[in-house]
Amino acid sequence: MISSTGGSGHPSRSRASRLTVRLAVLATTVALGAVGVAVSATPSSAAACNGYVGLTFDDGPTGSTGTLLNVLRANNVRATMFNVGQNVQGNPSAARAQVDAGMWIGNHSWNHAHMTSMGQSQMQSDLSQTNSAIQSATGVRPQLFRPPYGETNSTLQSVASSLGMRQVIWDVDSQDWNGASVSQIVSNAGRLQDGQVILMHDGIQNTRDAIPQIMANLNSRGLCPGMISPSTGRAVAPDGTPPTGTPTTPPTGTPTTPPAGGGCTATATYPNVWGDRYNTSVTVQGGSNWTVVVALTAPQRVNTTWNGTPSWDSSGYVMTMRSNGSGNTFGFTTMMNGNSSARPQIRSCTAS
């Protein structure tokens, strides 16, 4: 049985031909720096948010991913990018740039095939191969999966779940894939309500041009871009600090200039990953006397730290690391405890 949810159904099969065109631009590269997530300590707009919506972009990375990221950052948007595996393999720098810009990454299959026609083993191979490509390029293992064309069945959902991913369709279809104008995309996005998710696409000019107006409408209604919860598939408050809103051309992994008034920038990388644990290295720029707050995902636990003085909140999952004169790079080892996909989130960085 094929099912699809959302106000406008799912994209037609004619998208397959457009996918071929998009793949032709994979040779275009996007410049970037080190792998990691750079988070600047800027005031959060969460206090003004009466609800959250999930802005999603399918079929990337493309040759214009860098331009899309610039637009998103300029409008203080964090979004979820549902990437196609072979696109990631062909353009890993663009996939890394997505993470560096603060975006969340989801699995959108290996080559955008009609997966409901596959057997279980083929589905498993397809999604596993895509996860491996994404993790190799970005250091992030996807927790979300969107089936191509919105086509799904119980077998595909079961396979995705076995790989630690929540299936996410959409509530609102922007119709950008169907030639919608900027005004039509903005109008469609205007139907979004708290917790809902909208379908959009990487590589479409009208979509990029619509983003400022989409954000103006959301802001007027007290709605903010959020992350999609792997538990519920609904949009919720982000688990980290939003991007600074300062675009770069092209986007890179280099941390932005720290804001005035005690701000600093912390960049996390994951240099070592084993079967049961992994290391996180955090580099701080913008001050020598710094404090960085890092949140873990249960049931993961830190068992070793270095080059900083840690303290913990009552839950044991939020660590505050303070400089101890050992330089501006600290690290820690995290035991996975059965959760191999989650990675720590940097919540804030302050310096004095």
**Please, are residues 61 and 94 in contact by the beta-carbon 8 Å criterion?**
yes
How many domains does the chain contain in total?
A: 2
**144/191 same-domain check:** yes
pTM above 0.75, yes or no: no
Q: Which of 307, 348, 347, 301 shows the shortest CA–CA distance to 327?
A: 307
Q: Each residue of 81-129: pLDDT tens digit?
A: 999 999 999 999 999 999 999 999 999 999 999 999 999 999 999 999 9
For residue 326, what are the domain limits?
Answer: 265-351
**269/163 same-domain check:** no
**213/279 same-domain check:** no
- Is a pLDDT exceeding 70 seen at residue 28? no
Confidence of residue 141 (pLDDT cuts 50, 70, 90): very high
Amino acid identity, residue 286? Answer: G
Q: Is residue 245 part of a domain?
A: no
The H-assigned helical ranges of the chain are 15-23, 65-74, 85-90, 92-100, 120-138, 154-162, 182-189, 205-220
Q: Is residue 277 part of a domain?
A: yes
**214/311 same-domain check:** no
Mean pLDDT of 236-260: 42
Residue 302: CATH number of its domain? 2.60.40.290
Q: What is the pLDDT of residue 271?
A: 82
Environment class of 301 (CB within 10 Å of its CB; exposed 0-12, middle 13-18, buried 19+): middle
Other CB atoms within a 10 A radius of the CB of residue 140 amount to 23
**228/281 same-domain check:** no
Q: Each residue of 264-304: pLDDT tens digit?
A: 888 888 888 888 888 899 999 888 888 999 998 888 888 88
CB within 8 Å of 122: residues ≥ 6 apart: none
**231/296 same-domain check:** no
Going 98 to 257 to 43 to 218, the CA torsion angle's sign is negative
Other CB atoms within a 10 A radius of the CB of residue 98 amount to 32
